[in-house]
Amino acid sequence: MATKHETVAAFLKRWLVEVIEPNREPTTYVAYEPLVRLYIIPGLGKKRLDKLTVRDVQAWLNTLPTLCTCCDQQKDHKRPERKRRCCSIGKCCKGYLSRSSIAGIRRVLRAALGHALREEVITKNVVSLTTLPSASKTKKKRQHTVWTVDEARKFLEHLREIDDPLYAAYVLILVLGLRRGEVLGLAWDCVDLVGEQLWISRQLTRVGGQLLHRETTKTEDSTASLPLFGLCVTALRHRMRTQEQAHKTAGDNWKNSELVFTTRTGTPIEPRNFNRAFESHCRRAGVPRIRVHDTRHTCASLLAALDVHPRVAMRILRHSQISMTMDVYTQIPSPETRKALDRLNQRLTTESAD
2: in domain: no
Sort strands 202-207 and 191-192 into parallel, antiparallel or unpaired: unpaired
CATH number of the CATH domain containing 25: 1.10.150.130
- Write down which residue in 100, 129, 158 finishes a domain: 129
Same domain, 169 and 51: no
| Residue-level pLDDT at 3 | 58
Q: Which of 286, 307, 285 is nearest to 230 (CA)?
A: 307
User: Do 104 and 250 sit in the same domain of this protein?
Assistant: no
Return the ∠ at Cα 255 (arms to 250 and 258), rounded to 5°: 115
| Residue 247 belongs to some domain of the structure | yes
Is residue 153 assigned to a domain? Answer: yes
Residue 135, in any domain of the structure: no
Do 154 and 125 share a domain, yes or no?
no
Same domain for 154 and 76: no
Give the residue numbers spanning the domain of 340.
149-353
**The pLDDT of residue 340:** 56
Considering the domain architecture, whether residues 203 and 331 belong to the same structural domain is answered as yes
95 and 173: one domain?
no
Could you give the number of structural domains in the chain?
2
- 253 plus 107 within the same structural domain: no
Nearest CA among 171, 166, 154, 168 for reference residue 277: 166
Residue 139 lies in a domain: no
Tell me the β-bridge partners of 225.
199
Q: Which residues of the chain have pLDDT under 70?
A: 1-4, 135-144, 208, 216-224, 306, 320, 322-354
Record the pTM: 0.67
**CA-to-CA separations, 130 to 56, 101, 146, 335, in angstroms, rounded:** 10, 16, 36, 54
8 CB contacts (<8 Å, ≥6 apart)?
40, 41, 44, 45, 46, 47, 48, 49, 52
Q: Are residues 336 and 264 in the same domain?
A: yes
pLDDT value of position 216? 67
Return d(Cα 237, Cα 168) in angstroms, integer: 9
CB contact burial 73-110 (16+ within 10 A = b; e otherwise) = bebbeeeeeeeeebbbeeeeebbbbeeebbeebbebbe
255 and 347 in a single domain? The answer is yes
- CATH number, position 325: 1.10.443.10
- Per-residue pLDDT tens over the stretch 81-130: 888 888 888 888 888 888 888 999 999 999 999 999 999 999 999 999 99
Same domain, 236 and 340: yes
Q: HEC profile for 26-55?
A: HHHHHHHHHHHHHHHHHHHCCCEHHHCCHH
Together in a domain, 119 and 214: no
Question: Which are the contacts of 191, defined by CB distance < 8 A and separation ≥ 6?
Answer: 198, 228, 236, 260
CA distance 167 to 286: 17
Q: Same domain for 163 and 45?
A: no
